[in-house]
Structures are given as structure tokens and as C-alpha cells.
Amino acid sequence: MVVTETQALLILPPIAMGIIIGTYELFLIHRDENYSGSHWFGHGLHTFIPIIIGLLISFNVPLFLGMFGDSLPLWLQNEVYIRLAIALIIAIKVRAVSAVVPGAAGRGMKEGWIHTLVIGTAVAIAPYAWPFIQPFAPSWLGGNTE
């Protein structure tokens, strides 16, 4: 008898990780700011959206590969490759958004490449880190605590 494992679309864990990673990004933006004013906060809130979208995709890669994996090219059937592509896209998006925010001498915030790659990598490895974070997350965010 063959037992098949069914997977559900994950929504709450990506949102929980999005709050964690987005908050970290907010602190990085504040640290990297090179202009006076408080526009870094508005920009920081803006980065939550692409981070959560990237996490929704990253967390649900196995589900989509189970549904469409056979119709994809062989190199796109690897979860790690897909998550690396997501990490790169998120890093470029975060960097691009930080570059267009006006700042001192017209340079914008110019978040460091290291910081943008850390955020992209965090989005890619979040599904692997979630089992360690889940016991501490509240139940309304998909965690195990009450």
C-alpha cells in the first residue's frame, strides 16, 4: 500500500517569519540610513510586503513542486535552487527600494549589499529555521504556544 503525504498551503508561518525578518530589516535600515529625518520607518514598513510574499513562496515550494514539479525542467525541480532564486530576487528588491529613497547628497539610503543578502538568505532559509522557532511562536501565528 502506497501512502501519499499531502501538504497544505502554509500562510501563518510565513507571516510569523515575515514579522521577524521584517523587524530585523527595519533595524538594518535605521542603521544604514545616511540622511536625517524619519523616512526610514516608512521605507521599513514597505519592505514587509516583499519579504512576506517571498516567504509565502519559499515556504510553499514543496507544495508547488508536488503539484507542478513533473512539468518543470529538471533544474527547477530542486527546492534549494528555487529558494536561492527567491533569495536573490528579494535581495535585489530590498536594495533597489533602498536606493530610490531620497537622502543626503541624493544618494538614497543605499543599504549595504551584505545586509540585503542577509535578508534574502533569511527568506530562503526560513522554512528550515521554522521548526526551531515554531515552539516559541504564538498559536495564532502557527506556533505551538498558547
Assign 145 to helix, strand or coil. strand
By CB atoms closer than 10 A (0-12, 13-18, 19+), residue 48 is middle
Per-residue confidence at 53, pLDDT binned at 50, 70, 90? very high
122 or 26: which leads in pLDDT: 122
Q: Is the pLDDT of residue 73 over 90?
A: no
Domain range annotation of the chain = 12-137
Question: Look-up: residue for cell 515550494?
Answer: 61
**Residues 2-15 pLDDT 10s:** 555 667 889 999 99
Task: Give CA–CA dist 26/46, Å, rounded.
Answer: 10
State residue 129's pLDDT score.
94
Mean pLDDT across the stretch 13-33? 82
